[in-house]
Amino acid sequence: MSSPVTCRHADLDGRIAAQHQVIARFEAALWEGGFNEPVLASYQAAWRRLEALIQAKGEPDRRHGFVLVIPVADSPRHLRACLASLLQLCRAYGYGGQDADGRWRKVSVLLADDSADPSILAENRALARTYAAQGLRMHYFGPLEQMALLDRLADLDLGPIIGRHARPTFAHKGQAMMRNIAYLKLAEMRAGESEALGGPLLVHTLDADQSFQVKVATATGDAQVAALSYFHQLDAIFRDERVRVLTGKVVGDPPVSPAVMAGTFLEDVLAFLTEMARTRPQQPYPRHIASTRGSGEAAYHDMADLFGFRAGGEHYRYRCGLAGAADNAACFADFARRLNRFFHGEHPTRVTYYRHDGLNLVPARTVYTGNYVFRPESLGEFIPYAPLRLRMSGPSMGRLLKAELGAGFVSANLPMLHQRTLEATGQSEFRPGVVDRDARVDLTDEYERQFHGDVLLFTVQRLVELGYPATRPGESRVLAALDEVWLDMGRRYRAGRGVILERLDRLGVLLREPAHWWNQDPAHAEAVAHFHAFAANMRRNFGGEGPAHMPCEDPARWRAWRTRQARAILDLPAQRQSWNQALACLARPGG
């Protein structure tokens, strides 16, 4: 005869299974024909009801706990928004529930502070305390804590992985090196966090300028909504023991540099002005026909074909964000004010939106370092080549993971919202590589890091096809591959600049045409000035004598880069040995 407890558990199991079906129905309704905002509250409540049923069983909850790694450098406003979105996610979907002290049982944050400004370091510490008081388990990992940890590993040569940094500031190391240092901390924390979170761990690393929301297009304009239950979905995916590393993507601002978006943006600016020239300023701006493409298409990238995406050729309309039935003149001025944001990482016309098509789990080849998840057993997969401080570190890492993990490396349709700039300033809080003084923008450092990041990425891709990293290639083979890719990238970048300059010439003709309405009324002078300033910055950086691309074409400078990149590639096996020694040391009690 069944005991009352057994019957009660069987009843709860049935109700939990039924609740999953309720959630599936709400999810279908939420996205039917687009985003249906009135359904969102019911959808979130259905997940919370599921959590209540799970807690009612009174059994240990062995679902995954999440340690969120958030590197941040001098960006407290972005960090605040990121942590606020995490707290909103916990409250909306209730994953894991709360303990008697009001803390979320299954969520922990490792805040890896790479800031240099003492006042911002203090502000970030205060933010950690603020959100700890609201129920998040916070671990602040600042420069002092980082140096203390590394001092314990002084006998190991970790410089090729985490860099060599001046003290006492120990700041602005860059996202890749900061993440690698944070992963060392995770090795030390692993056992304690697994016990505290009551189950197997998953590490979710994200950027401070992201939030647990998605961008959707509605009839009344764009919206940013907490419409995905990330932790429930990730827990379900990682129940498959074959999954080792998962990468999501981002919606909102593109995850690439302005150095490789100038051509597509100019295409859209030209189309915008051409359309405006055919209209009258008082006519309503037709926002309803603007494009709302989804993630995964890389439509913002000037060289999308290099990454296996369909090449562009069509322009994207600007989705004017002004309230009400704004006219052409108002949206012309609004677009003009946003042009300079491009240099800080926005692409005002090719914003990425969320498309709901299930989790869409597929094999991956690129890591989005601002949104990927892995088991602690994969802590050995540090971000390679980090001290080079190049862009494209995630795609380079992804090519190695694909070669080594195969089907264990996957991508899921779980994007996060990416917001490069602050609305109040139009700039990032902290943007290394972009200098913006008195409206004069210099992309030299950004451009060089992007160019050589592409060289490294496609060299690694060639070497992977030859068996790297399992097989160490000869030095001559690595150098030859680097030279071949450098020449190819040089041709591609020069061709791209040719397109940019041709479009800038056309832009100048359109802007200055006396017959166009914006040149016939002084009321539009400020907006027109924004367009001219934008064009001047474009020409300054991408023109024939522009400073941005000149270092990339200097043979002497290339020889120095070639040596550094070859050494990083060849030394990866030795670096992994040092890294694994460090992980083992930190995992030992008192290590």
Give the pLDDT confidence of 255-286 residue by residue, as tens digits: 888 888 889 999 999 999 999 999 999 999 98
What does the CA dihedral 368, 370, 371, 376 come to, rounded to 10 degrees? 100
Lowest average pLDDT, out of 3-12, 126-135, 505-514, goes to: 3-12
235 vs 311: CA distance, rounded Å: 36
Distances (CA, A) of 307 to 320, 359, 366, 452, 458: 30, 22, 10, 16, 10
What was the pLDDT predicted at 486? 94
| Burial of 552 from C-beta contacts in 10 A (0-12 / 13-18 / 19+) | buried
pLDDT at 296 exceeding the cut of 60: no
Lowest average pLDDT, out of 221-235, 404-418, 436-450, goes to: 436-450
Rg (CA), the chain: 25
Distances (CA, A) of 84 to 66, 136, 584: 17, 10, 35
Do 558 and 364 contact (CB within 8 A), yes or no?
Answer: no
Average pLDDT score over residue span 42-48? 97
Q: Residue 526's closest CA among 439, 458, 454, 446? A: 439
Q: Residue 221's closest CA among 326, 352, 320? A: 320
Tell me the angle at which helices 4-31 and 40-56 cross, rounded to the nearest 10 degrees: 160
Pairing of strands 416-418, 210-211: antiparallel
pLDDT at 310 exceeding the cut of 70: no
Can you point out the beta strands (E) in 192-315?
A: 201-206, 210-211, 214-218, 221-225, 245-247, 250-252
Average pLDDT score over residue span 350-358? 89
163 vs 388: CA distance, rounded Å: 9
What was the pLDDT predicted at 9? 66
Distances (CA, A) of 251 to 34, 109, 223, 258, 340: 16, 22, 12, 16, 20
Average pLDDT score over residue span 178-182? 97
Lowest average pLDDT, out of 305-309, 514-518, 554-558, goes to: 305-309
pLDDT at 320 exceeding the cut of 90: no
What is the helix (H) or strand (E) element at residue 18, kind and residue range?
helix 4-31
pLDDT at 351 exceeding the cut of 50: yes
403 vs 411: CA distance, rounded Å: 15
DSSP letter, residue 428: -
Pairing of strands 245-247, 371-374: antiparallel
Bridge partners of residue 353, in order along the sequence: 294
Q: What percent of the chain has pLDDT over 70?
A: 94
Which region holds residue 392: left if phi is over 0, alpha if psi is between -120 and 50, else beta? left
Residues 6+ apart with CB under 8 A from 295: 249, 250, 251, 352, 353, 354, 355, 413, 415
b/e 139-158 (16+ beta carbons within 10 angstroms → b): bbbbbeebeebbeebeeeeb
DSSP letter, residue 308: T
- How many Cβ atoms are within 10 Å of 194's Cβ, its own excluded? 15
The dihedral built from the CA positions of residue 166, 393, 469 and 557, taken in this order, carries a sign that is negative
Q: Give the mean pLDDT of the chain.
A: 90
The model's pLDDT over 433-478, given as tens digits with 9 standing for 90+, comes to 778 877 788 888 989 999 999 999 999 999 999 999 999 999 999 9
Task: Report cis status (omega within 30 of 0) of the bond before 415.
Answer: no
The model's pLDDT over 79-132, given as tens digits with 9 standing for 90+, comes to 999 999 999 999 999 999 999 999 999 999 999 999 999 999 999 999 999 999
Average pLDDT score over residue span 354-380? 93
Residues 6+ apart with CB under 8 A from 411: 246, 247, 248, 249, 361, 362, 363, 364, 366
